[in-house]
Copies of this chain bind each other. A is one copy, B any other.
Amino acid sequence: MKLYDSKLAPNPRRVRMFMAEKGIECETAQVDIIQGENLSDDFLAINPRGVLPTLVLDDGTVLDESVAICRYLEEIQPQPALMGTDPVSKAHIEARQRHMEFDGLMGAAEAFRNSFPGFANRGLPGNAGAVDAVPELVERGKNTVQRFYERLDQALAQSEFVAGDAFTIADITALCTVDFAAGAARVPIPDDCENLKRWHAAVSARTSAAA
């Protein structure tokens, strides 16, 4: 299989980190989203949606969407389990993973995409054509990130990791979200979010965080 990756973007990092936790390696190719390589004819011939990461299996199956790629990897190599092991844990982890996406990552993406000059007419990700940035979304996105930090801090006062006592895919999505939000979207982790800072230091220290 071959992973089409993009080093600076948060979604490909989710898959790289998931693979590193599993100890899975494969051929990779870099596609520069900032330069618009994901919208080149060459890449659209591989994935018409124009999004990264994209995993192409040996049988030619094209999988995009980070979580779907992680699902495939979890199925072919169940250990260490990152997506749950029984009906309740699988559903709870999936819910927490989606909370990280919808309550956090989408806000950070909204703040970044609508303020970054290079995306002035790329207001939506992937192959959506020319879409103007919407300046009002920058503040809205930053406010979403602020709420996200506060709620994640509260949740991490109750448990070691995002979805309970074990490291899971929800922590991967959360770490990639926090680092993207604090970096590209320019909303630093608040000083008083002690639980979030404790978790962030611990998760950032994992070997997979550097993948």
Contact = CB atoms under 8 A, between A and B. Distances in A.
Interface in A165-194: none
A22 interface: no
Contacts of A94: 65, 67-68, 71
A87 B59 CA distance: 13
B137 A95 contact: no
A187 to B, nearest CB: 16
A87 B91 contact: no
A76 B91 CA distance: 11
A71 B57 contact: no
A147 interface: yes
Interface string A105-138: 0000000000000000001100011011010110
A68 B168 CA distance: 15
A140 interface: yes
Contact of A91 (B68, B88, B98, B99): B68
Given A131-B140, A136-B134, A90 B75 contact: yes
A106 B195 CA distance: 32
A38 interface: no
A87 B98 contact: no
Nearest to A75: B87
A92 B68 contact: yes
A130 to B, nearest CB: 10
A169 to B, nearest CB: 12
Contacts of A64: 95
Given A65-B99, A71-B91, A75-B90, 6 more contacts: A65-B94, A68-B98, A71-B90, A72-B88, A134-B136, A134-B140
Closest 6 interchain pairs by CB? A75-B87, A72-B91, A68-B95, A68-B94, A65-B98, A65-B95
Interface of A: 49, 57, 59, 61, 63-65, 67-69, 71-72, 75-76, 86-88, 90-92, 94-95, 98-99, 102-103, 123-124, 128-129, 131-132, 134, 136-137, 140, 143-144, 147
